[in-house]
């Protein structure tokens, strides 16, 4: 698991290869990733936007940006934990992702970015 803390917001990520949804003959490798967002700060925050940077080992890279996560814009009070699962497909067996969440403090509507730690997506047989 990969973890980062920014301004009291802890982000933890774990990626898993999904062979049942992948097709290596067509250069399609699907990975799911589970994200835990923990509010360790003293204020309530709302996740407004996400911005992902996705890198494939063949040199391709892309960005994904949009509102919220999985169709939601969760609000987290101090001590709250929010988790979700999503997926990413690559054209190679190895890749990585990282990004940011745009958060808003409910107290003063101030916005700030929270770092999503870089994590790797690797087909298991590549690790041997």
DSSP run (H or E) holding 45: strand 45-56
Alpha-carbon distance 76 to 105, whole Å?
A: 10
Q: What is the pLDDT of residues 24-76, one digit of tens each?
A: 999 999 999 999 999 999 999 999 999 999 999 999 999 999 999 999 999 99
- pLDDT given for residue 60 in this prediction: 94
Q: What is the pLDDT of residues 4-15, one digit of tens each?
A: 999 999 999 999
Query: How is the chain split into domains, by residue range?
Result: 2-127
Nearest to 117 by CA among 63, 18, 37, 45: 37
pTM of the predicted model as reported, rounded to 2 decimal places:
0.93
User: Which architecture, in CATH terms, is 2-127?
Assistant: Sandwich (2.60)
């Amino acid at each position: 698991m990969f973890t980062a803390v920014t301004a009291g917001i802890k982000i933890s990520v774990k990626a898993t290869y999904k062979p049942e949804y992948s097709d290596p003959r067509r250069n399609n490798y699907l990975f799911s990733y589970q994200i835990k967002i923990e509010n360790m700060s003293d204020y309530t925050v709302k996740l407004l936007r996400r911005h992902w940077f996705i890198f494939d080992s063949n040199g391709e890279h892309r960005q994904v940006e949009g509102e919220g996560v999985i169709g939601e814009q969760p609000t987290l009070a101090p001590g709250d934990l929010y988790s979700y699962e999503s997926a990413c497909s690559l054209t190679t067996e190895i890749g990585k992702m990282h990004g940011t969440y745009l958060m808003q403090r409910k107290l003063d509507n101030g916005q700030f970015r929270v770092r999503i730690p870089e994590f790797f997506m690797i087909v298991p047989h590549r690790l041997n």
